[in-house]
Amino acid sequence: MLPDAAVAAVNVAVVKARAIETDADEVVLTADTLVVCDGDIMAKPMDADEARGMLRKLRGRSHQVLTGVALRRHDGVRWCGMVATSVVMRDYTDGEIEAYIARGEPFDKAGGYAVQDEAFRPVERLEGCYLNVVGLPLCAVAAGLMALGVEVTAAGRPPCGYCRAGAEVVSIRSGS
């Protein structure tokens, strides 16, 4: 994991949280997800050529997905954290990439892919939080809410191995 990328993910989430007004009984929740491969941060592709390049670079390889999460109460008390997941992509074909691009799927996703896409199914396996790769690690959201004094109850087991394993979320809590 690149420290600069982790800081960037958290910083963008914090900036988003600061930009939202809240009432006395509300908590603002924001997140930012980055895909990092070979030290390169892959944002959302701007066009088909960029999406094609990202998906080819990721094909058959491992990379990191980092999501920064920020929560802020109306009184300025805030919490932020970051979750990292290692992802290995399957060896999909150029034809599969073209079909995925033709459907318009890559353009609103960091790294140009969605782990949950039923047609493309780009991921071979992952180590860590599945929901982090989707874009919102509920384990981090729950940790942050509890740190801010919000009662959190869960309905059943979380769907990601990260939560079941009980791994700690990197977190920072600060006052106003």
Query: CB under 8 Å to 72, separation ≥6 — which residues?
Result: 17, 18, 20, 22, 27, 28, 78, 79
Is 32 labeled as catalytic in the residue annotation? yes
Per annotation, catalytic residue among 4, 25, 32, 75:
32
The 10 Å Cβ neighbour count of residue 72 is 24
Residue with tokens 């071979």: 124
**C-alpha to C-alpha distances, 113 to 20, 50, 56, 100, 173, nearest whole angstrom:** 28, 12, 11, 9, 32
Annotated catalytic sites, by residue?
A: 32
